[in-house]
Chain A
Amino acid sequence: MSETTALTPPSGGRQISKISEVVIRIAGNSQDGIQAIGGFLARLAGRSEQEVMTFMTIPSTIAGGPSIFQVRMSSGTVESPGDEADLLVAFYQHSYDEHMNSLKKGGIVLFDSDHVVPKPELEKDYHHVSVPISSLTIEAIGGAGREKGKNIFVLGLIAKIFDLNVEKLTGLIRQRFGGKDASVLETALTAFHSGHNFSIEKLIQTFEFFESQRKTGGQVVMNGNEAIAYGLVAAGVRFGSAYPITPWSEVMELLRHELPKYGGTFVQCEDEISAICMALGAGYAGRVAVTGSSGPGISLKMEALGWGVMAEVPLVVIDVQRGGPSTGLPTQVEQSDLNLAVYGSHGDAPRIVLAPTDVEDAFYTAAEAVELARKYNVPVFVLSDQAIGTRIEAFPTPDFEKVCKDISPDLTPVPTHKPYDLSAPDGISCHKAPGTRIMDGRYPVVGGLEHDEYGHPSSSAKLHTSMSAKRRRKIQAFAHSLPKPKIHGPTEGNILLVGWGSTKGPIQEAVDMARAAGEAISSLHMRYLFPQPEGLEEIFAGFKHIFVLELNDEGLNGYGQLAGLLRARYCDSRIVGINKTEGLTFKVKEILNRVHAKAGELSAK
């Protein structure tokens, strides 16, 4: 809780302190509905023009198992879900035992005294608040639902501690439970009010947020999976096909539900291969379609992806990355599919690979992927990951009229058509969907064999060379069109941190923290991973050290996958990797510690 204006010792009785932000970690089991508490808090923050970011872990078991939900709400800027919590809510002994180390010194632990026995040695460093959450919930709503409703009771408690807007919160509860049996809503509201009326202020100080500094035209609150699905819808995608896999499934479930509203269809396929093939079919039929998956599923799609490159058929592939290889860590984050996205499939198969950096960016990146697939007639990867996929953020409501595109196929007859026209500028020829009448009577066959300009098979040496170059040149043309990436911090200094994808927040927060302490450090966050924008070598030239931070293994040569791409391109041995494979994203302090250690190690050499 930064910027506390009135500090009081824990024994100081009732006190209201003004705060600008708070990190709350709720630890329990996955069936306790702790995600729901986090979801309500995040949505409330969004409605209050606050910034918010959440972080969750889920067990990969079917039901149950320890789970946490962390939410950081702020009147200012939020870059990461926060390293340490100000308030820990512990439902069980294991929650308490496992998560006390994530609580800030002096922080508050609110525990269910029906299940948790606190450790005496911790009581002097942390403010312990004992509430018989389980029995009070049962008392309030009856024992029928066993311990169901505890989460909403706790939400009431949290609302009390942080003086949250009860009207808005109960409004959200109504919205969530309103459609069901009236007694369900009534029970939820009863649980909430019992929590809120519990006289917790006798035990701890309570808090109040400073008014938000943001005055935006309204915010929306969603997780990254939802943002990707809606971004695709906005960009005009009306067909998708996929096979269920964690953590991608949520995107397909949402698209299955949403697309019919727009006259579109989403198909659950028999397997991953069928899914990409079906999306390629719809793309060939005239409108960019989407398939998606996570690690193992993406591996299965690779042959068909290469066909998309060869046949020059547009496609968007979403990869919500998780830990690999093989089944790996199904519910945890990793950025280890970059090489697969860039190089997967046999032969020379250039394509485009993008990576969203936060939830808002996931919406716009998904939309951009559609546009690029259309423009360059090529498969485009969007490398999201479990961290972005499951975390909730608030962002300004998009300009709907502007972002929504009509990309219906144009079937106007054409006099003549060469699907693989070698004279097309930059190798960017156009695709004509079936149903298009071609007046000269020469029709295209789109295929995976090397071909002439009409698509008919040819293994001529000259044609294979010029067609390979054509498929490459259009991707190069796209690279030329990219803006020079922006640096976070000054363009010169001691250390440049390079990251990609979901790690943008913690990296930038680390840079800000280190700069505030006088260090000459900046960061560069890459959205365009393949092809990469030009001018990176000039940026690198401004720094003594270049550290590439990635959530993947350091590899056989001591650096991760993006670092490998950068090294291959720039032959710069200053490009060094800082890697993490714990299934969790970087923490801000961890970044600083690792960066200092690495810089020290290099200076000692």
Chain B
Amino acid sequence: MSSPAIDNIQVKAPDDDLRAPLTKKELAADHPTWCPGCGDFSVLALYYKLIEKQKLAHENFVSISGIGCSSRFPYFVQAHGVHFIHGRSLPLATGISLSRPDLHVFVFGGDGDIFSIGGNHITHAARKNIRMTLVVMDNNVYGLTKKQTSPTSPLGFKSKTDNWGSVDRPINPVKQVLAAGATFIARTTSTNPMHLLQVMEAAMQHDGFSIIECLSECVEFFPGAFDAANPRKGGAFQTVPADHDVTDEVAAYKLADAPFPGYFGIFYQVNRPTKNASEAKINANAREKFKGLKDWQILKKSFERLS
């Protein structure tokens, strides 16, 4: 897909063809500020792996985040990145995605950032099917602010804002984004690196808005939250049934309704025109009438109607 607005972008580098894939060595930046044992380490390590495997160069992608523990992510990646404000990473990423078709846009956030303060944006980024990959590192708690109830905290979870246990029904992320119109929805966990990488690869290759809910344990404020999904802790890692039709929205909804820890894998994946493509089409039609004209000549034509 190309946008005439960036037709004249030329990236020249002397050794383009000779460059080896980036490895962790080139991709690691600041030492992560996460607590030892945090699930987010695993997501970061597999992101490096993803970039290496997909042979992305530094100038091919951008990592975006909002605010929260997991949103420190871009600082730990040696590449172009943005650490934005709380809850608004998706609109910022949309601005990048729509104006720069040459970049792959990755967004990282937590459950509070994406589903609480950013709740309105997830709905609209999903329904507009903006080309990007969103990884929600869901720990069911506010970690950076030290243990308040999050929109995914289970009922009865005792936090500093719910000493007696949470009374508000938690959000079901998969159902939420399914209803909003996301075209790729997957669920995984930081304790299953192979699965996490596979899901990230599939999400990245999806042409549209792809979201991964990745359970990522907060060892400090909600330890053991996801043990039920971890065979090493006596739990069960149950993958999406092999006969599940990923284009069946109702089936995906039912699957997402399974009691915790639920299923892991791709719940839903369909092809629907991205906003990126729809806008490119609008532009192509609009520009048809002004073929061969310079920008100032187009403006002159508009002004002739106003004289």
Task: Using CB atoms and an 8 Å cutoff, list the residues of chain A in contact with chain B.
Answer: 43, 46-47, 175, 218-222, 226, 230, 233-234, 236, 238-239, 241, 258, 260-265, 267, 269-271, 273-275, 277-287, 289, 303-304, 307, 311, 397-398, 400-401, 403-404, 406, 408-409, 411-413, 433-438, 441-449, 456-457
Counted as pairs of residues, one from A and one from B, with CB atoms less than 8 Å apart, the total is 223
The reply to whether A285 and B96 contact each other, CB–CB distance below 8 Å, is yes
Q: In chain B between 111 and 156, which residues have their CB closer than 8 angstroms to a CB of chain A? A: 120-121, 123-124
Q: In chain B between 268 and 307, which residues have their CB closer than 8 angstroms to a CB of chain A? A: 279, 282-283, 285-287, 289-290, 294-300, 302-303, 305-307
CB distance from B61 to the nearest CB of A (A): 8
B246 at the interface (CB under 8 A from A): no
Contacts of B282 in A (CB 8 A): 260
B80 at the interface (CB under 8 A from A): yes
CB distance from B177 to the nearest CB of A (A): 15
Closest to A267 in B: B98
Alpha-carbon separation in the docked complex, A43 to B98 (Å): 37
* A/B interface sample: 23 pairs, CB < 8 A: A43-B306, A47-B307, A234-B299, A239-B98, A261-B287, A261-B289, A273-B91, A277-B88, A280-B84, A284-B82, A289-B95, A404-B296, A411-B9, A433-B100, A434-B59, A435-B11, A435-B103, A437-B11, A437-B59, A438-B58, A443-B80, A447-B82, A449-B83
Alpha-carbon separation in the docked complex, A531 to B297 (Å): 35
Alpha-carbon separation in the docked complex, A412 to B91 (Å): 27
B165 at the interface (CB under 8 A from A): no
The reply to whether A281 and B58 contact each other, CB–CB distance below 8 Å, is no
**Interface with A: B39-47, B71-79, B210-218, B255-263, which one?**
B71-79
B13 at the interface (CB under 8 A from A): yes
The reply to whether B307 and A221 contact each other, CB–CB distance below 8 Å, is yes
Q: Which 10 A-B pairs have the closest CB atoms?
A: A281-B95, A263-B4, A447-B83, A434-B80, A260-B286, A277-B91, A404-B296, A274-B91, A281-B92, A278-B95
B93 at the interface (CB under 8 A from A): yes
A287-B5, A411-B11 known; A278-B92 Cβ under 8 A: yes
Contacts of A219 in B (CB 8 A): 307
The reply to whether B287 and A274 contact each other, CB–CB distance below 8 Å, is no
Q: Which of B8, B100, B290, B295 contacts A285 (CB 8 A)?
A: B100
Q: In chain B between 6 and 20, which residues have their CB closer than 8 angstroms to a CB of chain A? A: 6-13
CB distance from A350 to the nearest CB of B (A): 18
The reply to whether B59 and A287 contact each other, CB–CB distance below 8 Å, is no
Alpha-carbon separation in the docked complex, A289 to B303 (Å): 22
The reply to whether A445 and B88 contact each other, CB–CB distance below 8 Å, is no
Alpha-carbon separation in the docked complex, A448 to B295 (Å): 35
Contacts of B279 in A (CB 8 A): 260, 265
Specify the main secondary structure of chain B where it touches its partner: helix
The reply to whether A434 and B62 contact each other, CB–CB distance below 8 Å, is yes
B3 at the interface (CB under 8 A from A): yes
The reply to whether B11 and A287 contact each other, CB–CB distance below 8 Å, is no
Extra contacts besides A437-B11, A447-B83 (12): CB < 8 Å: A46-B307, A221-B306, A234-B296, A267-B98, A280-B84, A282-B95, A284-B92, A307-B85, A404-B294, A435-B59, A435-B60, A456-B29
The reply to whether B94 and A408 contact each other, CB–CB distance below 8 Å, is no
Contacts of B298 in A (CB 8 A): 261-262
Contacts of A448 in B (CB 8 A): 83-85
The reply to whether A436 and B80 contact each other, CB–CB distance below 8 Å, is yes
B99 at the interface (CB under 8 A from A): yes
Closest to A262 in B: B295
Alpha-carbon separation in the docked complex, A233 to B303 (Å): 12
Alpha-carbon separation in the docked complex, A446 to B96 (Å): 14
Q: Which of A236, A273, A435, A449 contacts B100 (CB 8 A)?
A: A435
The reply to whether A408 and B307 contact each other, CB–CB distance below 8 Å, is no
The reply to whether B306 and A226 contact each other, CB–CB distance below 8 Å, is yes
Contacts of A311 in B (CB 8 A): 82
Contacts of A304 in B (CB 8 A): 85, 88
The reply to whether A285 and B120 contact each other, CB–CB distance below 8 Å, is no
B243 at the interface (CB under 8 A from A): no
B202 at the interface (CB under 8 A from A): no
The reply to whether B95 and A279 contact each other, CB–CB distance below 8 Å, is yes
The reply to whether B5 and A238 contact each other, CB–CB distance below 8 Å, is yes
**Residue from A238, A258, A311, A398 with most neighbouring chain B CB atoms (10 Å):** A238
Contacts of B162 in A (CB 8 A): none
Task: Using CB atoms and an 8 Å cutoff, list the residues of chain B in contact with chain A.
Answer: 3-13, 26, 29-30, 57-62, 74-75, 78-85, 88, 90-100, 102-103, 120-121, 123-124, 279, 282-283, 285-287, 289-290, 294-300, 302-303, 305-307
Closest to A222 in B: B306
**Residue from A261, A264, A267 with most neighbouring chain B CB atoms (10 Å):** A261
The reply to whether B80 and A409 contact each other, CB–CB distance below 8 Å, is no
A230-B303, A265-B283, A279-B95 known; A434-B13 Cβ under 8 A: no
The reply to whether B75 and A437 contact each other, CB–CB distance below 8 Å, is no
Alpha-carbon separation in the docked complex, A409 to B8 (Å): 9
A412-B12, A434-B100, A448-B83 known; A260-B95 Cβ under 8 A: no
The reply to whether A409 and B286 contact each other, CB–CB distance below 8 Å, is no
Contacts of A270 in B (CB 8 A): 120-121, 123-124
Contacts of B57 in A (CB 8 A): 437
The reply to whether B94 and A435 contact each other, CB–CB distance below 8 Å, is no
The reply to whether A239 and B99 contact each other, CB–CB distance below 8 Å, is yes
The reply to whether B58 and A258 contact each other, CB–CB distance below 8 Å, is no
A278-B95, A447-B82, A447-B84 known; A437-B13 Cβ under 8 A: yes
Contacts of B12 in A (CB 8 A): 412-413
The reply to whether A260 and B287 contact each other, CB–CB distance below 8 Å, is yes
CB distance from B30 to the nearest CB of A (A): 6
Closest to A227 in B: B306
Contacts of B299 in A (CB 8 A): 230, 233-234, 400, 404
The reply to whether B85 and A285 contact each other, CB–CB distance below 8 Å, is no
Closest to B95 in A: A281
CB distance from A145 to the nearest CB of B (A): 26
Alpha-carbon separation in the docked complex, A400 to B300 (Å): 7
Contacts of A446 in B (CB 8 A): 81-83
The reply to whether A277 and B92 contact each other, CB–CB distance below 8 Å, is yes
The reply to whether A435 and B9 contact each other, CB–CB distance below 8 Å, is yes
Q: Which of B29, B59, B283, B297 contacts A411 (CB 8 A)?
A: B59
Alpha-carbon separation in the docked complex, A412 to B8 (Å): 12
CB distance from A444 to the nearest CB of B (A): 7
The reply to whether B26 and A441 contact each other, CB–CB distance below 8 Å, is yes
Alpha-carbon separation in the docked complex, A443 to B75 (Å): 10
Contacts of B9 in A (CB 8 A): 408-409, 411, 435
The reply to whether A442 and B84 contact each other, CB–CB distance below 8 Å, is no
The reply to whether B123 and A406 contact each other, CB–CB distance below 8 Å, is no
Alpha-carbon separation in the docked complex, A261 to B79 (Å): 33
Contacts of B74 in A (CB 8 A): 445, 447
The reply to whether B286 and A443 contact each other, CB–CB distance below 8 Å, is no
The reply to whether A286 and B4 contact each other, CB–CB distance below 8 Å, is no
The reply to whether A400 and B94 contact each other, CB–CB distance below 8 Å, is no
The reply to whether A281 and B94 contact each other, CB–CB distance below 8 Å, is yes
The reply to whether B82 and A404 contact each other, CB–CB distance below 8 Å, is no
Alpha-carbon separation in the docked complex, A401 to B306 (Å): 18
Q: Which of A274, A281, A404, A443 contacts B124 (CB 8 A)?
A: A274
Q: Which of A277, A433, A444 contacts B84 (CB 8 A)?
A: A277
CB distance from A309 to the nearest CB of B (A): 12
Alpha-carbon separation in the docked complex, A446 to B64 (Å): 10
CB distance from A175 to the nearest CB of B (A): 8
The reply to whether A435 and B80 contact each other, CB–CB distance below 8 Å, is yes
A218-B307, A262-B295 known; A274-B120 Cβ under 8 A: yes
Contacts of A406 in B (CB 8 A): 8, 295
Alpha-carbon separation in the docked complex, A435 to B88 (Å): 22
Alpha-carbon separation in the docked complex, A449 to B287 (Å): 41
The reply to whether A436 and B85 contact each other, CB–CB distance below 8 Å, is no
The reply to whether A280 and B92 contact each other, CB–CB distance below 8 Å, is yes
Alpha-carbon separation in the docked complex, A457 to B3 (Å): 34
CB distance from B96 to the nearest CB of A (A): 4
The reply to whether A258 and B98 contact each other, CB–CB distance below 8 Å, is no
Q: Which of A280, A307, A413 contacts B95 (CB 8 A)?
A: A280
A404-B296, A413-B11, A435-B59 known; A287-B99 Cβ under 8 A: yes
